[in-house]
Amino acid sequence: MAATSFVILTRNSAKTIGTVLSSLKRVTGFLSEIVIVDGGSSDGTLKVVESFTNSLPIKVVHDRGRGLGFARDIGWRTATAPYVVMLDSDVVLEPRFLFEGVRVMEADPRVGALGAKLRPIMMEGGWLAAFQAKNLAITLHLAEHYYPAEAIALHTACTMFRRSALERVGGFDHYFRLAKEDSDVSFRLRKAGYKVAYLPIEVKHLERARFWETNFRYGRSYVHIARRHPDLSPLSTPKNVALTLSLLQPYLNVAIYLYYLVRYMRLSHLTPGERRIMAGIETLRQAVRTAGMLYELLRPS
């Protein structure tokens, strides 16, 4: 099997990076190198990484605070193997993903990227953590069709890229500092004629409940992806219009809540009480993201 490089972005990841690197010990025979791209960690992350340097082929580079697009770009360009796996510092690799990914890539040269499904494992308690593990988006993600069916876009938490495909599309766009660098590269791969797809393999995502900051940041990134790909990710959708109006006229949030309640009522893995609470948190999440979107649209360039 062809050797594969791993690129792992870290920033204050001391609580999870040891578990992630330990999972890579199971595939050392197929590793070209592990490129750690650190974003200025101050919690001992790099000390944990250093403790693995005798057992894993690790290189460390620094993103100098220039954002996710830049960090992922220098990561894969530092790597050397024909296949590059972007692996987040809180995602535990399932070895079958590596083997199956290379098998599909070598059998189908039009495949540019293959992602694993993310199964959230919460490291905290509370309703926000429960929401993060059981929300509608996670349910839809886990239900997406697998290869040979094609995806609209992949995440970069555990995704294998064909190096030659990244070279052809110019790698990751440094414009995406906050998020959506994954959607952007997926869109560009598709526009270049490559397939992007999920494999029928789940990996553990060791998550903490980061509700407010994360959702506001994602809302801001909606503006960025719309500017790069207005054809595939426009801002002027009925959903965004309705959510914007609900911020200006708070009573409309009742309608937003009822809309999501109907959708959450269809999730059989939730209790009736969970469905009602999750719909409320979903309404709040959408409001935070919409606020982030409006902030980015209105702030001076």
pTM for the predicted model, two decimal places: 0.95
* Residue 124 confidence (pLDDT): 86
As given in the structure block, the two tokens for residue 125 are 């308690």
**CATH pick for 4-209 out of 3.40.50.2300, 3.40.50.1260, 3.40.50.720, 3.90.550.10:** 3.90.550.10
> Whole-angstrom Cα distance, residue 58 to residue 269?
41
Q: What is the pLDDT of residue 38?
A: 98
Helices and strands (H, E) in the chain, number of each type: 12, 8
Instruction: State how far the alpha carbon of 121 is from the alpha carbons of 133, 143, 205, in Å.
Output: 7, 17, 6
Cα 165 from Cα 144, distance rounded (Å): 23
Domain boundaries, the chain: 4-209, 213-298
Q: Summarize pLDDT for 13-63 with one digit per residue, the tens.
A: 999 999 999 999 999 888 999 999 999 999 999 999 999 999 999 999 999
C-alpha span between 138 and 246 (Å, rounded): 24
Alpha helices of the chain — where are they, by DSSP H? Answer: 14-24, 45-50, 68-78, 95-107, 127-134, 136-143, 163-169, 181-191, 211-228, 238-248, 253-265, 272-298
- What pLDDT was estimated at residue 1? 67
Residues of the chain where predicted confidence (pLDDT) is lower than 50:
none
Distance CA 48, CA 44 (A): 7
Backbone dihedral region for residue 201 (phi beyond 0: left; psi -120 to 50: alpha; all else: beta): beta
Distance (Å, rounded) from C-alpha 279 to C-alpha 22? 37
Within the chain, what is the greatest distance between any pair of CA atoms?
Answer: 60
